[in-house]
Structure 1
Amino acid sequence: MPIKYIPYTPEPIEGQALLDNFTRTLRYKGNYDIKGKLIRGMPLYEMQTVETFGDKEKAKQNLVIRGECVSACAYLKEKGILVDLVYIDPPFASGADYSKTVYIRQNPKLAKALKQAEEELEIEDLKSFEEKMYGDVWNKEKYLNWMYENLCAIKSVMSETASIYVHLDWHIVHYVKILMDEIFGEDNFRNDISWHYSGWNKKLKVSFEKRHDTILYYCLDDEGANFNSYFESYESEEEYIKRRKQKPLTDENGRRYVLSDAGNGNRVKRFLDEAIRDGVVVDDVWDLDKLNNSALESVDYATQKPEALLERIIKASSDENMIVADFFGGSGVTAAVANKLNRRFIHCDVGINSIQTVRDRLIAQKEKPNHVRGDVDFSVLEIKDGVSLFRNPIQTMEKLKSLVPGLGKMEGLSDFWAGCIESIKDGTVPVYLPDLKNSECKILDKPFMSRILHEHLGNLPFTPSRVIIYYVDVVDISEIEDFVKADKSTLVKIEFRDLKQLLDDIVIEDTADFEVSEVQEELIPEYKLVIKSFMSDRVMRHINAYNQKCELNSKGKKFKPIVISEEGLELIEWLSVDCTATEGEWHSDSEIKIDKLGFVIKNGIKTKEFWDGAIKSEKKPLRLKIRNICGDETVWKVE
């Protein structure tokens, strides 16, 4: 249950154009009862500090939060934290599924032989499989309701001079534009920015190639106090000529110049050396390369955006030490660029892969050749909302359906219902599971129960004797049961079940066998923890499913299945030892990450060494944490 509810303020702007094809529902709007008591608001949950990097006080100013946007905003509002710039890259309602490519690491027992042979693995030689991160599949009305709730939450933690950039594409941007006019005020709309990028040359029969995203920019400050005119410089005459598409001329003194459009049909003379030096003011069409042209920047995240895009936004709409927030943080590009530009940052995302990616990305940032670990100050926090997610909401939902005994699909059943259970006593029993991707569905209250009674029960293709309603959060379950009894609109028996009991059964811990010994390294005593074996049932299920799929698609031809060694060390992506505490907040006193080519990253520093199956530390390890290649993390105490 939440600690308390915090109201959305300020309210959306009144008198704006409204979308009339969906019903706005702010479950946490902050309504008051007759006595003036607050009975609803944004849910504020307990926040747990998972890790702290660098200076503890400075780390409180840079936050990496695992949790939903609305709950994160409740926490910020309670702490009195106002952000100066927001960039969000939410789902586009595109209908696409996004996956993470999971690479099998090199077996450490082969590392020595590979090194002796001076071999370097090529990416094409790596064994891999894909794992779904999230599905961008939405009913349009549900999507707009979800965006409305999130945008209102975000607005409640923006300063009076703050700006917000919302990154979308053609699927839904036109609807969200009207929605943002309503919430932020159309007078605060500044730009409809087109980010144009390169791509494959396709020959299309019925349309032009879609090759741009749209970024909606709003600023709450009429004076534009936080806006900085952004100039783009040129490296050479050749670059200027190529990008501006202007052919230079030469005057009587031999000086090269161009004729620029000054408006109203007037052309003015501008010397080429001055034009190159001064640069050009950036307009609302941004021609920037996509990430696939910058391999060094890639962190293998499906929806990753280029740093150049965020650098332009952050420089244009913030100054040093201001707070830059991204509530759908994904690959962590906003936090990474904000940190490089000496801004404070807040990264929020519900997926564990996102949190791990930005954590590792920030640790690896090198401002100078002699950069030592600890210069990046930030805290990793987790919202304890009682929902123990698997790795992300979509995987948790898929897993949940397999945990409900006897749950199966039924033709004619709407998407509202997860499926049906066949019961000897009650016949066919419809089952509702809250959609963990949509925060609206997480609280069971009277308005939502009324919709179930008067809308969803009536739309069933048959009349059941019983239905099962799972819930995540409820103010008072006895109050809901009394509400159902008093309604008398149906004879169907409603059975309520707490979803958290199912969620607790989702995570199956990985297993590891290891040993610790004290060694001498150049006369300096160290501790060496050797991983003797590692096994992950969760990863092996993915691998077995991948092998079966490949076998079915092979059509009798030979295929090479993924085979894991007896020790299973290929399934490890990252490991860390805590030499400071046996419980509570994690202290990564020494850590190793194995990249997809098998090379080791020691405490954020890349090397050309292969992992040998061990990790060393100056002090005796008290705890060991291992992250498998899919992103699950497990902790063991070291005796």
Structure 2
Amino acid sequence: MPVKYIPYTPNTVEGQAVLDNITRTQRLLRYRENNEVYNRIKRGMPYYEVETVEQVGKESENIVLRGECISACAYLKEQNIKVDLVYIDPPFASGADYAKKVHIRKNPKLAEKVAKAEAELEMEELKAFEETMYGDIWKKEDYLNWMYENLQAIKSIMSENASIYVHLDPSIGHYVKILMDEVFGEDNFRNEIIWCYKTSLRSSPKSYGKDHDNIFFYSNSEFSEIHPDKKDFPSSESTIKRWKPYADENGFVSNKHFAGSKSTIIDTTDESKGFNIFNGIPRDWWEISANVSKGNTDEVSAGKYATQKPESLLERIIKASSNKEMVVADFFGGSGVTAKVANELGRKFIHCDVGINSIQTVRDRLIAEKADFKILEVKDGVSLFRNPQQTMDKLGTLITGLQKKVEGVSKFWFGAINDSKLGVIPVYAPDLIDSKQKVLDIPTINRIINQEIQNLNITVKKIIVYYIDIDDEKELLKFIKDNNATTVEIELKDLKNLLHETVVNDEVEFSLNNVDSEYTIEIEKFVSDRLLQKIGAFNEKGNLQSLKNGKKFNPIEISEEGLELIELISLDCNNKEGKWFSSTEIKIDKLGYVITKGEKSKDFWNGKITTTEKPLRIKVRNISGDELIKDVE
């Protein structure tokens, strides 16, 4: 359960155009009890306990936070942390699944043989399988409800003169623009910026190219002026060519010349009002390549974040709307471009994302940048596999006997179980992607009792309702007892118990040697049940396709030691428990080369890690991002 609920304040701006088909965060939730209509207000942002997972470098105000946007904002508001600039690149409701490639590493037991054939190795096709990062599959109304809550939460932690840039595409941007007018106020809308790709990403000869995204820029105050870097907004080549012969050494054109027509004379009496041909004014359309050419980390090049935005785009925004030492936040941080650029430009940063892979990617990226930060995690009671989408995908296999698309059972239900005695048992499970569904409250139960059970086209004796949190369990059970006019039994089940019972942790075997005050840990065996299941499913699918198309399929084979499944090893020589401090660590890239302190090498990993301090704990991260921590002694 949340420790408490924190109000969304300040309120939305009155008198704005609104979308009537979505439910606002602070609107009343209505339900009927004993023929009387009751109203209940959502309590606000759920505030959970937040654990410090790791301290990287020196103590600082920089934060990398694993959690949903709303929970993250609740934490920041409780800690009285204000944000000066927000950039978010949320899902676009595009209907697409985004996947990453998971690359199998080279077997370090064969390191010597591999080193001799280095040239051949790089030409070899890397073995990999795909995993879903997140699903951008939404009904429009659900997406807008979700965005509204997020915008409300973000507004509550923005400073008095803060700015926000929301990055969307033309298919959904105009709807979100209306929400932003409502939340931030129409008068606080500054610009719609069009980001034009230099090359067409999705064009067709039968239609116009889809070559731009929309970025909506709002600020809380008219004093939130932009400070563009002049080199980012140069005058056009034609303007420079036309006026250069008349310019002085500073690029200013004399007031004896005309500005485009005989009726308009350039006034350079006050130099600040003059026309400088070398510095134009900021435009609201930016032509920047969509290619990720700068700061292209191994994680990104491996396909983990296909939607990553170029650093030059974030650099322009951060320079324009913040000064050094200001706080820049990204609540859908992905691969961490915002945090990286903010750090490079001398700003403080807050990176937030619900996916563990995002946290690990930005951690490794910031370590390479020698940044100081702490990693926090919202303890909302859900042991997610790696992100909400993967957990929802897995749930179908965790609930024994669950079947999808059962005749007579609507899409409201997660599925149904066929029981020999009770018949069909519809099953409700909250959608972990939608934060509003995490808390089971009276309005939800009321909908189940008085609407969804009634709408079933089959006779049922029992339903099962899974939950993550309950608003008030005693009150909820009393409501069910007093208001369930049907003969249907309602069983409540804690989804956390199901998730925790089915998680099989990775296992590692290692030995520790101490020679001349140098400690060496050698990894002898690594087993990951989750990964072996994934690889097994990949091989099975490949074999079936091979039988159909007649093409040869080379299955992924893992050695008995299983060291090919390791991506990172870290040693903590400071703390036996609590937050992690990485005294030394190595990372193995997709080619099998070692990365130390963010520096890439051409050395193959030999299965060992060495330190001059006595290690107390070891952390092993597998190639999909699961981490195992074990005491060394």
TM-score by length of 1: 0.89
Please tell me the residue identity of whatever aligns with 1:391: R
**Structure 1 residue aligned with 2:371, among 345, 353, 376?**
376
* Matching of residue 42 in structure 1 with residue 45 in structure 2: yes
1:194-343 equivalences under 5 Å are 194-200=194-200, 204=204, 206-225=206-225, 227-232=226-231, 241=237, 278-294=278-294, 296=296, 299-300=299-300, 301-343=305-347
The question of 1:550 aligning with 2:549 is answered no
Q: Which residue in 2 is equivalent to 1:33?
A: none
Instruction: Render the CA deviation track for 1:192-229: whole Å, top value 9, x for unaligned.
Output: 1111113457763542111111111100112335x213
Distance, in Å, in 2 between the alignment partners of 1:21 and 1:206 is 34
Structure 1: how far apart are the matches of 2:481 and 2:575? 52
Taking the aligned partners of 1:124 and 1:12, their CA distance within structure 2 comes to 57
* Counterpart position of 1:562: 556
1:298 shift after superposition: 6.3
Offset at residue 519 of structure 1 (A) = 2.6
SS of aligned partner of 1:436: coil
Distance in 2, matches of 1:20 and 1:109, equals: 63
AA in 2 matched with 1:557: K
Query: 1:286-316: per-residue Cα shift (whole Å, max 9, x none)?
Result: 1111134457456422321111111111111
The reply to whether residue 180 of structure 1 matches residue 180 of structure 2 is yes
Shift of 1:563: 1.2
Is 2:3 the counterpart of 1:11? no
Distance, in Å, in 2 between the alignment partners of 1:544 and 1:260 is: 74
Please name the residue that 2:417 is paired with: 421
Distance in 2, Cα, partners of 1:449 & 1:233 = 55
Which residue does the alignment assign to 2:571? Answer: 577
Match of 1:407 among 398, 402, 423: 402
**2:36 — aligned with what?**
none
Distance 1:459 1:516, change over 3 A: same
Give the residue type in structure 2 aligned to 1:385: D
The aligned residue for residue 131 of structure 1 is: 131
Deviations 1:105-126 (A, max 9, x none): 1111233233334527437621
Structure 1 unpaired stretches of 5+: 30-36, 366-374
> Is the Cα–Cα contact under 8 Å of residues 233 and 282 in structure 2 kept in the other structure?
no
Cα deviation per residue 1:242-282 (whole Å; 9 max; x = unaligned)? xx697658859999999997689969799xxx999833333
- 1:461 deviates by 2.5
Describe the superposition over 1:567-609 as per-residue Cα deviations: whole angstroms up to 9, x where unpaired: 1111100011111222211111110011112111112222221
Q: Which whole-Å CA distance do the structure 2 matches of 1:548 and 1:253 have between them?
A: 71
Deviation at 1:474, TM superposition (A): 1.1
Give the letter aligned to residue 326 of structure 2. Answer: M
Which one-letter code corresponds to 1:95 in the other structure?
A: G
| Offset from partner CA, 1:6-58 (integer Å, 9 cap, x none) | 111001111100111222244899xxxxxxx99822111111100012222x2
Specify the alignment match of 1:98 in structure 2. 98
Q: What is the distance in 2 between the residues matched to 1:380 and 1:305?
A: 23
Shift of 1:450: 1.9
Is the contact made by 1:572 and 1:626 (CA closer than 8 Å) also made in structure 2? yes
Aligned partner of residue 564 in structure 2, secondary structure: helix
* CA deviations over 1:81-140 (Å, ceiling 9, x no partner): 111111111110000000011111111123323333452743762111111111100011
The aligned amino acid for 1:544 is G
The alpha-carbon distance between structure 1 residues 363 and 621, as it changes in their structure 2 partners (threshold 3 A), is same
Residue identity matched to 2:446:
S
Contact 1:262/1:268, CA 8 A, preserved across alignment: no
Identity over aligned pairs, percent = 55
Q: Which residue of 2 aligns with 1:450?
A: 446
Distance 2:189 2:204 in 1: 34
Distance between the aligned counterparts of 1:530 and 1:564, measured in 2? 19
| 3-state secondary structure, aligned to 2:403 | coil
Q: 1:636 aligns with which of 606, 627, 630?
A: 630
What is the distance in 1 between the residues matched to 2:26 and 2:177?
19
Check the 8 A contact 2:233/2:281 in 1, yes or no. no
State the 1:494 CA deviation.
Answer: 1.4
User: Who is 1:371 aligned against?
Assistant: none
Aligned twin of 2:601: 607
Aligned residues: 607
> What one-letter code is carried by the residue in structure 2 that aligns with 1:49?
T
Displacement of 1:189 after TM fit? 0.5
Is it true that 1:539 corresponds to 2:531 in the alignment? yes
Q: Any conservation in 2 of the 1:399–1:506 contact (CA below 8 Å)?
A: no
Shift of 1:159: 0.9
Structure 1 residues 234, 302: closer, same or farther in 2, change over 3 A?
closer
Q: Contact 2:566/2:623 (CA < 8 Å) preserved in 1?
A: yes
Rounded to whole Å, the distance in 1 between the matches of 2:259 and 2:608 is 65
- The offset of 1:168, in angstroms, is 0.8
Letter in 2 for 1:178: I
Q: 1:592 and 1:112, CA in 2 relative to 1: closer, same or farther beyond 3 A? A: same
Question: 2:367: which partner in 1?
Answer: 363
Report the Cα distance in structure 2 between the residues aligned to 1:290 and 1:83, rounded to whole angstroms.
Answer: 27
The 1:283/1:502 distance shift into structure 2, 3 A limit, reads same
Q: Which amino acid aligns with 1:397?
A: M
Which residue number in structure 1 is paired with residue 500 of structure 2? Answer: 504
- The one-letter amino acid of 1:62's match is N
8 Å CA contact 1:234, 1:276 repeated in 2: no
Say whether the 8 Å CA contact 1:27–1:440 is kept in structure 2. Answer: no
State the Cα distance separating 1:400 from its structure 2 match: 1.8
Give 1:481's aligned residue.
Answer: 477
The change in CA–CA distance for 1:234 and 1:573 in structure 2 (over 3 A counts) is same
**1:368 maps to which residue?**
none
Residue 47 of structure 2 corresponds to residue 55 of structure 1: no
- The one-letter code matched in structure 1 to 2:617 is R
Using the alignment, how far apart are the partners of 2:448 and 2:590 within structure 1?
48
Contact 1:574 1:626 in 2 (8 A): yes
| Pair 1:624–1:17, CA change in 2 (3 A) | same
Query: Does 2:113 correspond to 1:109?
Result: no
What TM-score comes out, normalization by structure 2 length?
Answer: 0.90
Call closer, same or farther: CA 1:298–1:222 in 2, change over 3 Å: farther
C-alpha contact (below 8 Å) 1:86/1:165 kept by paired residues: yes
The DSSP-based 3-state class of the residue aligned with 1:382 is: strand
CA contact (8 A) 1:291 1:298 kept: no
Alignment partner, residue 370 of structure 1: none
Deviation at 1:492, TM superposition (A): 2.2
TM-superposed CA distance for 1:475, in Å, is: 2.4
How has the CA–CA distance of structure 1 residues 174 and 253 changed in structure 2, closer, same or farther, with 3 Å as cutoff? Answer: closer
Name which of structure 1's ranges 287-296 and 102-111 shifts more when overlaid on structure 2: 287-296
Q: Distance in 1 between matches of 2:527 and 2:232?
A: 53
Q: Residues 490 and 201 (structure 1 numbering): CA distance in 2 closer, same or farther, change over 3 Å?
A: closer
Task: Report the AA paired with residue 393 of structure 1.
Answer: P
- Is the CA contact (8 Å cut-off) linking 1:7 and 1:28 kept in structure 2? no
Q: Unpaired segments of 5 or more residues in structure 2?
A: 30-39, 269-273
Which residue pairs with 2:271 in the alignment? none
What displacement does 1:544 show?
1.5
Q: Distance in 1 between matches of 2:137 and 2:68?
A: 18
Q: Tell me, yes or no, if the aligned pair for 1:353 and 1:391 is still in contact at 8 Å.
A: yes
User: Secondary structure, in 3 states, of the residue corresponding to 1:311?
Assistant: helix
How many angstroms apart in 2 are the aligned matches of 1:459 and 1:327? 38
For the 8 Å contact 2:202–2:210, the answer to whether it is kept is no
Match of 2:435 in 1: 439
Alignment of 1:48-87 (within 5 A): 48-56=51-59, 58=60, 61-87=61-87
- Give the distance between the partners of 1:623 and 1:162, measured in 2 at CA: 42
Q: 1:280 to 1:586 in 2, by over 3 A?
A: same
Report if the CA contact (8 A) 1:230-1:282 is conserved.
Answer: no
Q: 1:396 to 1:249 in 2, by over 3 A?
A: same
**Aligned with residue 622 of structure 1, among 616, 623, 626:** 616
